[in-house]
Chain A
Amino acid sequence: MSFSVVIKNELDLKSIVSEDISEVILGVKDLSRNHKLNLDEFYQLSHLAKSLGLKRVLSFDVLVSESKFEKLIGFFNAIDPSSYDFVRVQDLGVFNYLVNHSKGRFQLVLETSFHNIHSLRALVQRYRNFLDKIILSYELTKNQVIEYSEYLKTMHIRSELLCFGSILLFYTPRKLLSAQEIKEYALANSNESPHKGYEVIENEHGTFMYHLKDLLIYNELKEIEIDKRIDLSVKNNDQMKNFFTYIQSTNSEFVKNLSKKTTRGYFSVNKTDVLFPKLKNSRISRVDDSYIGRVLENKKGKFLAVKVEGTSIQLGQELKFINPEGKIINHTIQQMFDLSFENIDQAVKDDIFLLDSIKKITPQTKVYLN
């Protein structure tokens, strides 16, 4: 078992009691989304971690604008390299810079995308020698995690997945709490959905919103050879010690007593695209085969107007109408008219032709050649 643990202060460090910790993730507030330490405090913590025999990862996970890039890189370069063993970055620009300007191999956070093996392969092909570890997305399913971590292993790149901790839902550089005259922290309850209790944190890098539940997939990850990250939210750090007790005893009381509920996220299955077909009425969607056009108006007892958007049409042909409710009406054209009600024998693309009105056909009904 191999854990990497996000450590924000001395208390955190003292509460981790496991031989399975491969590294601790530390940070300074200038470079990290939610570490709060200044450089001196970081050095102290780093020193302490080293004295406990732990490998130290410096987290540089903010997204960096062009204007701030030089300043932040300058800040990073000024950090004593002996205070960390690895650097962890998320911004691909920062990664690219480090690859070209520093020595060593880096840890790259790919938690918000890279949900397929092609993207990982493309990355590894070019950057294999610069990658120590890839932090995979917690939107991946178990099968993907196994496949990708095995692939990375063959490339001598370690992989990591969030095992227990906060799920970041949203990251903006804007100061959304300050705009409401609220300082640093609030709970957000949506009035338009049943979800309550999103933690919102604001700091100098912007505003972050976290899921009301923590991800907990320790049991699911146990057998998988991958580093397991423990990354508890500000309010939940007291659970760190209990977590390590829990994994030794697997006493389920731990889960019951957590201040935040837990979820397994998409580890078993990710079906976040299955609802898409329901977002639109497929009956009014056009299908190319034999498509003629759409009904503009059906005036009872008077006329039915069709706009030709596909194939041309002529007298004697049979039309198939599919109305928005899905009902199919067939009709053979005996007579057709133009907009001046003059008889015509054909209509081509972009024309509008009129027929006698037909029951059950409404605007947006699609018209096909039968």
Chain B
Amino acid sequence: MANTHPIPELLAPAGSLEKLKIALSYGADAVYLGGQKYGLRAAADNFTYDELKEGVEFAHKRSKQVYVVLNSFFFDSDFLELLEFVSFLESIKVDALIVSDLGVVDVIASNSHIPIHLSTQASCLNSQSGKFWKDYGIKRLILGREVSIHEAAQIKKATGLEVELFIHGSMCMSYSGNCTISNFTQGRDSNRGGCSHSCRFDYDLIDDQNKKSSFFMSSKDLNGLSLLDDFVKAGIDSIKVEGRMKGPLYAASISKTYKEALNYYSREQRIDAQKLSYFEQELNKFTHRSYFPGSLDTPAGLDSVFDERDHSKNQTRVFGTIIDVVEDKFFVIDSLTKILPKSSIEILKFDEGIIKYTIETLRDLNDQELESTRPNQLIKVPYIPGVAKNNIVRVLS
């Protein structure tokens, strides 16, 4: 059946070069990532100049895009190295910069031709705000997490700009850019990458009569998979997944699942209940808080609070990454966890599908039999047709 609506770009997080390659190999159309400065994730690995160059080359070879985040709220001293960095980014041909500060927008727009996307940090919630930013040269609005799909479509229409919405991942409870808890309690500026996640803390709430312990500021995790049809029909240009700090299993699973769902939708113009349930199951296979659809459909309600300490018990764990394949002989997994012989593993293929396999005997690189694996150990497995270098391997919990 012919596709009548353009399929949105799938935009995945890339917290490291390794995760960039994973996300793009598993189907993301574009990735966003941070350099060593300005990128709002002070604790992340972040990309060096060489890694940025390699990441962009890797993406462009596959006709995919790389967006670099410069979305911290700049102080004056932060501008000292900005132009040099931007001219480097232009020289390696990054596809867009994600910015939240008007001064940064202005400096970049006047000194480069790189398209600028307005970061969600700027909390753009309405068309008029979109028009304000458009006048400064913004090409795409990454709308606030409070914006519904319907509202995003209206904003797109009114501004003539591309719109991007988060579809999956952890959520700030606050309007983005409007939370300074870390700034004033931990001395770490959350709007420059130092958020200490105070909204996830346990609090005693005391009113006139009662004292109640709760995680009242903690949000459930966003999951908009079931609204894919609405995203497509509303003409949303890009659907974005949160999670630059998350691990390789997340990068692979999320890109693979959403890409398969988008491909399926593109073919069938719908996702039937059975298929949706399969994709939902895949999204349940890694650690997350309870899911909810955010404000994508209706404003997040009273049940949007994740009033618990623990995340969901995950059905799978990452076992490791296939670091090399010697065709017809063996492949090697860089193990990240302990598993026992006879464990059932699942190898996530880059294209659709999963290889299920039981490892009867665990062997190290010297072919010695092991009682169990440990993190950072190279495990040799007899060759299985279809496996590829950089495939992620998960183990059933």
- Residue in A179, A186, A362, A363 whose beta carbon sits within 8 Å of that of B305 in the complex: A179
Q: Roughly how many angstroms separate A285 CA and B75 CA in the complex, as a whole number?
A: 25
Q: Which residue of B lies closest to A266 (CB)?
A: B183
Q: Is A52 an interface residue (CB 8 A)?
A: no
A305 touches B76 (CB 8 A): no
Which residues B147-191 have CB closer than 8 A to chain A? 147-148, 150-151, 154-155, 173-175, 177-181, 183-189, 191
A299 touches B43 (CB 8 A): no
Which residues B250-270 have CB closer than 8 A to chain A? none
Q: A177-B205, A188-B205, A189-B206 are in contact. Are A276 and B188 (CB under 8 A)?
A: yes
Which residues B302-333 have CB closer than 8 A to chain A? 302-305, 307, 323-324, 326, 329, 332
B207 touches A272 (CB 8 A): no
Q: A182-B205, A190-B198, A275-B187 are in contact. Are A174 and B130 (CB under 8 A)?
A: no
Q: Which residues of B contact A53 (CB under 8 A)?
A: none
Number of A-B residue pairs having CB atoms within 8 Å of each other in the complex: 281
Q: Which residues of B contact A195 (CB under 8 A)?
A: 185
Q: Which residue of A lies closest to B130 (CB)?
A: A93
Q: Which residues of A contact B358 (CB under 8 A)?
A: none
Q: Which residues of B contact A183 (CB under 8 A)?
A: 207
Which residues A103-142 have CB closer than 8 A to chain B? 112-123, 126, 139
Q: Which residue of B lies closest to A340 (CB)?
A: B326
B204 touches A93 (CB 8 A): no
A66 touches B50 (CB 8 A): no
Q: Roughly how many angstroms separate A288 CA and B188 CA in the complex, as a whole number?
A: 28
Residues of B in contact (CB 8 Å), total 101
B198 touches A179 (CB 8 A): no
Q: A115-B73, A275-B187 are in contact. Are A93 and B128 (CB under 8 A)?
A: yes
- Residue in A167, A177, A276, A339 whose beta carbon sits within 8 Å of that of B365 in the complex: A339
B376 touches A297 (CB 8 A): yes
Q: Which residues of B contact A114 (CB under 8 A)?
A: 101-103
A296 touches B178 (CB 8 A): no
Q: A92-B129, A211-B184, A275-B188 are in contact. Are A65 and B177 (CB under 8 A)?
A: no
- Residue in A66, A209, A287, A354 whose beta carbon sits within 8 Å of that of B126 in the complex: A66
- Residue in A67, A209, A362 whose beta carbon sits within 8 Å of that of B148 in the complex: A67
Q: A66-B126, A190-B203 are in contact. Are A272 and B106 (CB under 8 A)?
A: no
Q: Roughly how many angstroms separate A174 CA and B180 CA in the complex, as a whole number?
A: 17
Q: Which residues of A contact B389 (CB under 8 A)?
A: 350
Q: Is A63 an interface residue (CB 8 A)?
A: yes
A121 touches B103 (CB 8 A): yes
Q: Which residue of B lies closest to A286 (CB)?
A: B48
Q: Is B146 an interface residue (CB 8 A)?
A: yes
A192 touches B202 (CB 8 A): yes
B206 touches A191 (CB 8 A): no
Q: Roughly how many angstroms separate A280 CA and B46 CA in the complex, as a whole number?
A: 11
Q: Is A234 an interface residue (CB 8 A)?
A: no
Q: Which residues of B contact A119 (CB under 8 A)?
A: 74, 101-104, 106
Q: Which residues of A contact B133 (CB under 8 A)?
A: 92
- Residue in B51, B75, B151, B324 whose beta carbon sits within 8 Å of that of A352 in the complex: B324
Which residues A202-242 have CB closer than 8 A to chain B? 209, 211
Q: Which residues of A contact B299 (CB under 8 A)?
A: 65, 173-174
B55 to chain A, nearest CB (A): 12
Q: Which residue of A lies closest to B205 (CB)?
A: A186
B302 touches A178 (CB 8 A): yes
B73 touches A113 (CB 8 A): yes
Q: Which residue of A lies closest to B190 (CB)?
A: A272
Which of A23-31, A42-50, A74-82, A94-102 faces chain B?
A94-102
B129 to chain A, nearest CB (A): 3
B119 to chain A, nearest CB (A): 11
B179 touches A113 (CB 8 A): no
Q: Is A180 an interface residue (CB 8 A)?
A: yes
A179 touches B125 (CB 8 A): no
Contact with A along B199-222 (1 / 0, CB 8 A): 101111111001011101101000
Q: Roughly how many angstroms separate A95 CA and B129 CA in the complex, as a whole number?
A: 8
- Residue in A66, A97, A192, A307 whose beta carbon sits within 8 Å of that of B151 in the complex: A66
Q: Which residues of B contact A139 (CB under 8 A)?
A: 180, 183, 189
A305 touches B378 (CB 8 A): yes
Q: Is A176 an interface residue (CB 8 A)?
A: yes
- Residue in A115, A144, A180, A185 whose beta carbon sits within 8 Å of that of B214 in the complex: A180
Q: A144-B76, A191-B204, A270-B75 are in contact. Are A175 and B175 (CB under 8 A)?
A: no
- Residue in A174, A192, A209, A279 whose beta carbon sits within 8 Å of that of B181 in the complex: A209
Q: Which residues of B contact A246 (CB under 8 A)?
A: none
- Residue in A169, A209, A266, A299 whose beta carbon sits within 8 Å of that of B366 in the complex: A299
B204 touches A189 (CB 8 A): yes
Q: Which residue of B lies closest to A65 (CB)?
A: B125
Q: Is B123 an interface residue (CB 8 A)?
A: yes
Q: Which residue of B lies closest to A265 (CB)?
A: B184
Q: Is B24 an interface residue (CB 8 A)?
A: no
A202 to chain B, nearest CB (A): 10
A279 touches B173 (CB 8 A): no
A188 touches B216 (CB 8 A): yes
B106 touches A174 (CB 8 A): no
B97 to chain A, nearest CB (A): 15
Q: Is B359 an interface residue (CB 8 A)?
A: no
B76 touches A116 (CB 8 A): yes
B75 touches A97 (CB 8 A): no
Q: Roughly how many angstroms separate A263 CA and B183 CA in the complex, as a whole number?
A: 13
- Residue in A91, A169, A200, A280 whose beta carbon sits within 8 Å of that of B129 in the complex: A91
A228 to chain B, nearest CB (A): 20
Contact with B along A238-272 (1 / 0, CB 8 A): 00000000000000000000000001011000111
Known: A113-B101, A189-B206. 10 other contacts (CB 8 A): A93-B132, A112-B177, A120-B103, A122-B102, A174-B300, A174-B305, A176-B173, A176-B217, A263-B184, A364-B376
9 contacts across the A-B interface (CB closer than 8 A): A67-B151, A114-B101, A122-B103, A139-B183, A169-B181, A174-B301, A180-B216, A275-B188, A303-B366
